[in-house]
Amino acid sequence: MPGLLISVRNAAEAGIVLAGGCDVLDVKDPSAGSLGQPALNTLAEILETLKQLQSSIPTSCALGELVDWSPDPVAMFTLNRLSYLKIGPAGLGKFDDWADRFATLQQQFRQAGVNQPRWIAAFYLDFEAAASFDPLAVLTETKLRKQLCDRLGCAGILLDTFDKQGPSAAELILDRRRTQTLRELLTRARELGLMTAFAGRLSFEDVRTLQAARIQPDLFAVRSAVCLENQRQAGIEAARVRQLTELVGCTENTGFATTPVGQACDAD
């Protein structure tokens, strides 16, 4: 059964989500794009909140888009306290160009001493809007193994949407009749030891529909679904968090992903 990742924008929301229950706590700035990078002080406050609450929940952080990212030595030190990092492929129209840029970024992180968090490779299902590539078309078993596993040592993959005003990820999959292709990708990734997450304006109904269609990622990743009036830039509501955790079936701090994942993809 899939677990649940919830994205928060500040320490207050982190407290609400921890009380309501989820499997992975994600940090992002929803006003800065699909994978908006949070301010350093905001990230530090959230991590301090987790420490004070003695929470061992796995944490992830969005870093924006690969084409926009530049290293910040101070921020890099803080990132070492996280479990996972994710960054988007917008503006990179070819998969091989994305892989080259990703490998260069990873090298910069290693040189800065950031070795603790593992990488989640993020891809956009509405790739046209993101001026990117179609992940369901390029992520064959060969690409997964040679690039994501052997070369980049990723812990997992995230399928998301770039345009948060456009169709949800579920709509993109179901309307374009790509359900079977997605199932096959999730199966290939799991066989290679890659954790899988599915995001993109998922509503409660989307989650029900995906479950009925036997689309079973390791994580459903949400923000707008647990926010006031389903608006991702509004505040998170405790009641909606509880309702979604009941729907998905996860419990607070279950220990999901605290054991090593993606062992087939360990970096060289």
Per-residue pLDDT reduced to its tens digit, 48-66: 999 999 999 999 999 999 9
Query: Is beta strand 84-88 parallel, antiparallel or unpaired with respect to 156-160?
Result: unpaired
Chain segment 2-44, per-residue pLDDT in tens: 899 999 999 999 999 999 999 999 999 999 999 999 999 999 9
Rounded distance between C-alpha atoms, residue 92 and residue 98, angstroms: 6
Taking domain 3-265, whether its CATH number is 3.20.20.380 is answered by yes
Mean pLDDT (the chain, rounded): 90
DSSP, collapsed to helix, strand or coil, labels residue 158 as strand
pLDDT attached to residue 78: 86
- With vertex at residue 208, the alpha carbon angle to CA 127 and CA 36, rounded to the nearest 5 degrees, is 40
Domain ranges of the chain: 3-265
User: Mind listing the pLDDT tens digit of every residue in the chain (268 residues)?
Assistant: 889 999 999 999 999 999 999 999 999 999 999 999 999 999 999 999 999 999 999 999 999 999 998 777 667 778 999 999 999 999 999 999 999 999 999 999 998 889 999 999 999 999 999 999 999 999 999 999 999 999 999 999 999 999 999 999 999 998 778 999 999 999 999 999 999 999 999 999 999 999 999 999 999 999 999 999 899 999 999 999 999 999 987 544 333 343 333 333 433 3
Of all helices (H) and strands (E), which one includes residue 108?
A: helix 95-111
Q: Which residues of 234-249 are buried (b: 16+ CB within 10 A; e: fewer)?
A: eebbeebbbebbeebe
C-alpha dist (Å) from residue 139 to 94, 96, 204, 215, 219: 12, 11, 28, 17, 19
